[in-house]
C-alpha cells in the first residue's frame, strides 16, 4: 500500500481502539468515556478531509502528536485498570496490546518524518536497539536492512496475532466450546511459530524460511476469522452472539491483512 493508504489504515485502527476503550468502561467512568470518545473524534476529524490544504508535513506532525497523546492515554488507562482504579470490561493486557500497536504506528511516522523512534524493547521485540518500523512502501528500498526488518515484522505481528487468539477465546459463551477450542489451537499454533522464529533469531539464522510459512498460516487464520465474523454479523453462531463486539474480529482481520501485505513484500524483495 502507498503511504497515504498506510496512514489511513493506521488511523482507522486508532479510531477503532478509541471506540473499543470508550465502549469498555464501566458506565460510571464518565470522564474516561468522554476522553476516549474525544480521541475517536480527533482521529475521525483527521480522515474527514478537514485537514486538506495543510502541508503534508504539518499534517503528519499533528498526527504524530495525536498518536503520542493516545499512547499516554492508553498507558494511564492500562495502569488504572491493573490497579483497580478504573473499571472496565477490558483487561489491562488488552489496553497494553493496543498501546503497542499505536507505538508501532509512531515508529512508522518517525521513519517518515523524524521524531521519536521506538526501541525493540518498547515494542516487545527480541533484540537490542531501535526497531525498524518501516512503512510498507519503503521496504523494497531498504534491502540492506532486510534481515532486521523481516525479524521485527515477524516478531511484532506474530505476537499480535497470537494475542488476538488469546483475547478472542475469553469471550465465547456456553454452547460455543467448539469455537473456543479452535481459537485456543490457533493461539498455540501461532505462538509455536513465534517461538521457532525466536530460536532462529538467537541462532543467527536467516528469517527467510519463515516468510512463506507465515503467509500460509496467516491465510488460514484469516479464513477462520472471516468465518467467525460472518457467524457474528449474521447471528448464526450458536447462541447468536458472543460477549465481544463483531467489530473486534473485523479489526483483527485488517491487522492480519496488513501483516500479510508486509510478508508478500518481504517475499518479493528477499
Ligand atoms: Fe488493534
Ligand atoms: Fe491488535
Q: How many CB atoms lie within 10 A of CB 175?
A: 11
From 68, 96, 118, the end of a domain falls on 118
Res 214 pLDDT > 90 = yes
Q: For residue 249, give its domain range.
A: 122-270
Residues 68 and 146 occupy one common structural domain:
no
Per-residue model confidence (pLDDT) at position 58 = 83
Q: Which residues surround ligand 2, an ion (CB under 5 A)?
A: 255
Residue 55 has pLDDT above 90, yes or no: no
Starting from the CA of residue 18, give the closest ligand: 1
Are 142 and 252 in a shared domain? yes
Task: Render pLDDT for 176-192 as a digit per residue (tens, 0 to 9).
Answer: 999 999 999 999 999 99
Spacing, Cα 101 to ligand 1 middle (Å): 6
- What pLDDT shows up at residue 54? 54
108-147: pLDDT as tens digits: 999 998 888 999 999 999 999 999 999 999 999 999 999 9
Distance 205 CA to ligand 1 centre (A): 30
Instruction: For residues 173 and 269, state if they share a domain.
Output: yes
Are 173 and 106 members of one domain? no
Same domain, 161 and 215: yes
The percentage of the chain sitting over the pLDDT mark of 90, rounded to a whole number, equals: 90
Residue 270 has pLDDT above 90, yes or no: no
Do 126 and 226 reside in the same domain of the chain? yes
Ligand 2 centroid, distance to 268 Cα (angstroms): 25
Q: Tell me which ligand sits closest to the C-alpha of residue 105.
A: 1
State yes or no: pLDDT of 52 exceeds 80: no
Structurally, how many domains does the chain consist of? 2
Full-model pTM = 0.95
Does one domain contain both 245 and 138? yes
Give 256 Cα–ligand 2 centroid separation in angstroms.
9
What is the mean predicted confidence (pLDDT) over 39-49?
A: 85
Q: How confident is the model at residue 50 (pLDDT cuts 50, 70, 90)?
A: very low
Which residues, in sequence order, are CB contacts of 153 under 8 Å at separation 6+? 132, 259, 262, 263, 266
Q: How many angstroms separate the CA atoms of 265 and 260, rounded? A: 9
Tell me what the mean pLDDT of segment 162-189 comes to. Answer: 97
Tell whether 103 and 216 lie within a shared domain: no
Instruction: Please tell me the predicted confidence (pLDDT) of residue 48.
Output: 62
| C-alpha torsion angle, residues 101, 258, 270, 268 (rounded to 10) | -170
Q: Which residue has the higher pLDDT, 51 or 34?
A: 34
- Gap from CA of 251 to ligand 1 centroid (Å): 6
Q: Of 97, 118, 139, which marks where a domain is finished?
A: 118
- CATH label of the domain that carries residue 154: 1.20.1260.120
SS3 25: strand
Q: Estimate to the nearest angstrom the gap between the alpha carbon of 179 and the chain centroid.
A: 22
Distance 166 CA to ligand 2 centre (A): 11
Is the confidence at residue 46, as pLDDT, over 90?
no
Whether residue 134 sits in one domain with residue 43: no
Of 70, 94, 118, the one marking the end of a domain is 118
Q: Which residues surround ligand 1, an ion (CB under 5 A)?
A: 101
Residues 253 and 203 in one domain: yes
What are the pLDDT digits (tens) for 235-246? 999 999 999 999
Q: Are 156 and 64 found together in one domain?
A: no
Q: Which pLDDT does position 212 carry in this prediction?
A: 98
- B/e letters for 222-241, b = 16+ CB within 10 Å, e = fewer, are bebbeebbebbeeeebeeee
- Considering the domain architecture, whether residues 188 and 233 belong to the same structural domain is answered as yes
Whole-number Å distance between alpha carbons of 215 and 229: 21
Amino acid at each position: 500500500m502507498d503511504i497515504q493508504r498506510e496512514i489511513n489504515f493506521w488511523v482507522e485502527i486508532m479510531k477503532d481502539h478509541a471506540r473499543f476503550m470508550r465502549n469498555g468502561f464501566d458506565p460510571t467512568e464518565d470522564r474516561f468515556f468522554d476522553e476516549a470518545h474525544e480521541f475517536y473524534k480527533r482521529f475521525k476529524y483527521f480522515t474527514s478531509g478537514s485537514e486538506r490544504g495543510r502541508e503534508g508535513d504539518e499534517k503528519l506532525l499533528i498526527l504524530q502528536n495525536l498518536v503520542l497523546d493516545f499512547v499516554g492515554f492508553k498507558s494511564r488507562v492500562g495502569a488504572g485498570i491493573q490497579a483497580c482504579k478504573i473499571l472496565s470490561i477490558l483487561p489491562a493486557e488488552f489496553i497494553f496490546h493496543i498501546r503497542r500497536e499505536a507505538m508501532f504506528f509512531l515508529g512508522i511516522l518517525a521513519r517518515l518524518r523524524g521524531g521519536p523512534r521506538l526501541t525493540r524493547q518498547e515494542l516487545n521485540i527480541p533484540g537490542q536497539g531501535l526497531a525498524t518500523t518501516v512503512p510498507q512502501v519503503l521496504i523494497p528500498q531498504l534491502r540492506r536492512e532486510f534481515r532486521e526488518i523481516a525479524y521485527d515484522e515477524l516478531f511484532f505481528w506474530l505476537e499480535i496475532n497470537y494475542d488476538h487468539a488469546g483475547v478472542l477465546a475469553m469471550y465465547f459463551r456456553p454452547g460455543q466450546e467448539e469455537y473456543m477450542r479452535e481459537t485456543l489451537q490457533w493461539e498455540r499454533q501461532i505462538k509455536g511459530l513465534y517461538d521457532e522464529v525466536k530460536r532462529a533469531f538467537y541462532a543467527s539464522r536467516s528469517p527467510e524460511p519463515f516468510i512463506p510459512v507465515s503467509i500460509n498460516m496467516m491465510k488460514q487464520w484469516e479464513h477462520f476469522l472471516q468465518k467467525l465474523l460472518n457467524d457474528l454479523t449474521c447471528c448464526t453462531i450458536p447462541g447468536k452472539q458472543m460477549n465481544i463486539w463483531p467489530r473486534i474480529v473485523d479489526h483483527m482481520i485488517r491487522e492480519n491483512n496488513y501483516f500479510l501485505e508486509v510478508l508478500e513484500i518481504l517475499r518479493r524483495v528477499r
